[in-house]
Structure 1
Amino acid sequence: MLKVTVFEQLKRAMKEKDTLSKGVLTLLKSSLDLTEKEKGSALTEEEEVAIVNREIKQTNQALEGAEKAQRDDLIEQEKAKLVLLKSFLPKQLSEEEVVALLTEAGVVKGMNMGDAMKIAKPLLAGKTDGSTMSKVVKSLI
């Protein structure tokens, strides 16, 4: 379970006095705990991956802001956060693998974007990021 892994790494980061990892892992653990408490039961693997993806998206936005502001110190920090967060995701599919899966699932040229995404989202949840998924779907339809 992802929550246990995050907690173990958090304990290690605290012992090693790794403030960056400690901060990221604390944030991730809090998100997992809060969502689990709101749901009232244990989270599924898909729900845990969705939470990690949400944190990655927020970190990407912070990275973009740091790049616009030309803050090199923040850029390095956000990149390090991304590496740590991405380590909790399952292996990500390449664009070629995504194309093959979507073609096999029935996404064809001339299809409505909404219909294609209804097929793609459940199929690729946690296996690729949203921008790659959208880009491949657009190229197929």
Structure 2
Amino acid sequence: MLKKTVFEQLKQAMKEKDVVAKGVLTLLKSALDQAEKEKGSELSFEEEVAVINRELKQTQQALEGAKQASREDLIEKENRKLEILQSFLPKQLSEEEIVKILVDAGITKGMNMGEAMKIAKPLLAGKADGATIAKMVKSLI
């Protein structure tokens, strides 16, 4: 389970006095705990990945804001957060790999975007971000 790994890395970050890693891991652990509490039972791997993806998306938005404000100190910090969060995700697929999976799943030209995404999302959950999946589905239909 990813939660256990997050906790182990949090302890390590505390020992090493790594303030950024400690902050990110504490946030991630509390997000996982909250999701688990809301569900009422342990999270599956897919649900843990969804929580991490949500945190990743928030960090990317913060990074965009920092870039627009030209805040180099924040840009560096947000990039470090992204690295830490991405380390918990499975290897992300390339666009070519995504297209191959989508074609194999039967997504073809003329298909409705909603129907295609219903097929694509479960296949690629945790292996690619939603924006990339949507972009590849659009290119196929």
Cα distance in structure 2, aligned partners of 1:35 and 1:129: 20
Aligned pairs for 1:1-141 (under 5 A) are 1-141=1-141
Task: Give the structure-2-normalised TM-score.
Answer: 0.99
How high is the sequence identity, in percent, across the aligned residues? 73
Length-normalised TM-score, structure 1? 0.99
**Residue type at the aligned position of 2:127:** K
Structure 2 Cα separation of the partners of residues 94 and 68 of structure 1: 28
> Per-residue CA shift, 1:44-93, capped at 9, x if unaligned?
00000000000000000000000000001000000000000000001111
Instruction: Tell me how far apart the structure 2 counterparts of residues 19 and 134 of structure 1 sit (CA, whole Å).
Output: 36
Shift of 1:38: 1.1
Counterpart secondary structure, 2:110? coil
Return structure 1 stretches of 4+ with deviation > 2 angstroms: none
Q: What is the rounded CA distance, in whole Å, between the counterparts of 2:94 and 2:72 in structure 1? A: 29
Cα RMSD of the aligned pairs, angstroms, is 0.5
Q: How many residues align?
A: 141
Shift of residue 18, structure 1, vs aligned partner: 0.1
Q: Which amino acid aligns with 2:48?
A: E
Q: Distance in 2 between matches of 1:105 and 1:10?
A: 39
Shift of 1:131: 1.2
